[in-house]
């Protein structure tokens, strides 16, 4: 497995790969867990070669967020990627990706009004910009993203369509711990007590989903149910729970097509997200 740190070299190697087969790409910020593993496995299975990027992208963190403390373990990540059959890992330094005069921004404004964008208004500009750069550098056939970050997936899907990236975006199911907690690199911030409380996020969403399955179509009772379940856990501080349609990510009062029900909450100081998609 190649480990590449330069943009020029990654671009040249990817061009070579593209000449004789399909290329799967899994963009990550490292500290890889089984959720990332499921994306890498699919990229390896469904393509002739697979590239994983490990880059903690500074532009998607606002001042005061956890950029400096974001967990990192490159050696472990490389061993994990190798064990899953990745062809190459791209691991650039921040100044390799963002030169001193860097000024471009890619954004999808209408999809960055609700959900996580309310509390993190600049986050998705950073995500879109770095993913657009990575797509140009790696030029994959397919790119794999976890649906735990559903808003990110729907925004990137819009970006790929609108900017004509010739890339197939593959959204992959959230991978969960045995007790239902969605896997996330940020779970490592949780204390033991917080970790015990955290599965309530999934449990609350599951109760909301059960209401929908029982025939409820109106937003209010579904959101109310989820809020009431979350309120039973004192360690949870809810940032939002919203029901939106998946094309424009606008709040919907009644389910008529595919919807995303998503939440963000703090358990102690750790901000976690989770969701389900219903179609």
Minimum Å gap between C-beta 30 and ligand PAF is: 8
Cα distance between residue 155 and residue 109, in whole Å: 9
In sequence order, the 6+-apart residues with CB closer than 8 A to the CB of 71 are 30, 31, 185, 186, 188, 189
The token pair that represents 143 in the structure block: 């790119």
In this chain, which of 130, 155, 273, 277 binds ligand PAF, going by CB under 6 A?
A: 130
In this chain, which of 57, 112, 141, 184 binds ligand PAF, going by CB under 6 A?
A: 57
8 φ/ψ angles, rounded to the nearest 5 degrees: -60, -45
The token pair that represents 234 in the structure block: 């004192």
The token pair that represents 149 in the structure block: 């970050």
Q: Exactly one of 11, 33, 36, 123 is catalytic; which is it?
A: 36
In this chain, which of 131, 201, 222, 277 binds ligand PAF, going by CB under 6 A?
A: 131
Residues 1-30 contacting ligand PAF, CB under 6 A: 27-29
The token pair that represents 205 in the structure block: 């969403």
Residue 149 binds ligand PAF (CB under 6 A): yes
Minimum Å gap between C-beta 207 and ligand PAF is: 27
Closer to ligand PAF by CB, 60 or 275: give it.
Answer: 60
Minimum Å gap between C-beta 94 and ligand PAF is: 12
Residue 159 binds ligand PAF (CB under 6 A): no
How many C-alpha atoms does 263 have within 13 Å on its Cβ side? 28
Known catalytic membership, residue 36? yes
Tell the residue number behind the tokens 């969701």, with chain if given.
Answer: 275
DSSP letter assigned to residue 51: E
Q: How many residues bind ligand PAF (CB under 6 A)?
A: 10
In sequence order, the 6+-apart residues with CB closer than 8 A to the CB of 8 are none
Residues 195-224 contacting ligand PAF, CB under 6 A: none
Binding site for ligand PAF (CB under 6 A): 27-29, 57, 60, 127, 130-131, 149, 152
Positions annotated as catalytic residues are 36
């Amino acid at each position: 497995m190649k480990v590449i740190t330069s943009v020029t070299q990654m671009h040249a190697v990817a061009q070579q790969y593209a000449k004789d087969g399909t290329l799967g790409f899994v963009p990550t910020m490292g500290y890889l867990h089984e959720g990332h593993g499921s994306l890498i496995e699919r990229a390896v299975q469904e393509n002739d070669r697979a590239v994983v990027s490990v880059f903690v992208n500074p532009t998607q963190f606002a001042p005061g967020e956890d950029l400096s403390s974001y967990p990192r373990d490159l050696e472990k990540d490389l061993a994990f990627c190798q064990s899953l059959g990745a062809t190459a890992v791209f691991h650039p330094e921040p100044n390799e990706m963002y030169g001193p005069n860097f000024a471009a921004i890619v954004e999808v404004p209408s999809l960055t009004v609700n959900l996580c964008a309310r509390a993190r208004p600049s986050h998705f500009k950073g995500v879109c910009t770095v993913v657009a750069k990575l797509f140009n550098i790696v030029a994959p056939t397919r790119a794999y993203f976890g649906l735990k970050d559903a808003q990110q997936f729907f925004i990137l899907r819009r970006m790929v369509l609108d900017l004509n990236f010739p890339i197939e975006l593959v959204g992959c199911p959230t991978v969960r711990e045995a007790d239902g907690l969605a896997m996330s690199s940020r779970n490592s911030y949780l204390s033991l007590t917080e970790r015990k409380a955290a599965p309530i996020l999934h449990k609350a969403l599951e109760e909301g989903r059960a209401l929908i399955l029982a025939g409820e179509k109106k937003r209010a009772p579904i959101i109310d149910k989820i809020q009431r379940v979350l309120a039973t856990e004192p360690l949870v501080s809810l940032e939002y729970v919203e029901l939106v349609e998946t094309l424009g990510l606008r709040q919907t009062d009644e389910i008529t097509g595919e919807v995303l029900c998503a939440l963000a909450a703090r358990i102690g100081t750790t901000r976690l997200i989770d969701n389900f998609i219903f179609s």
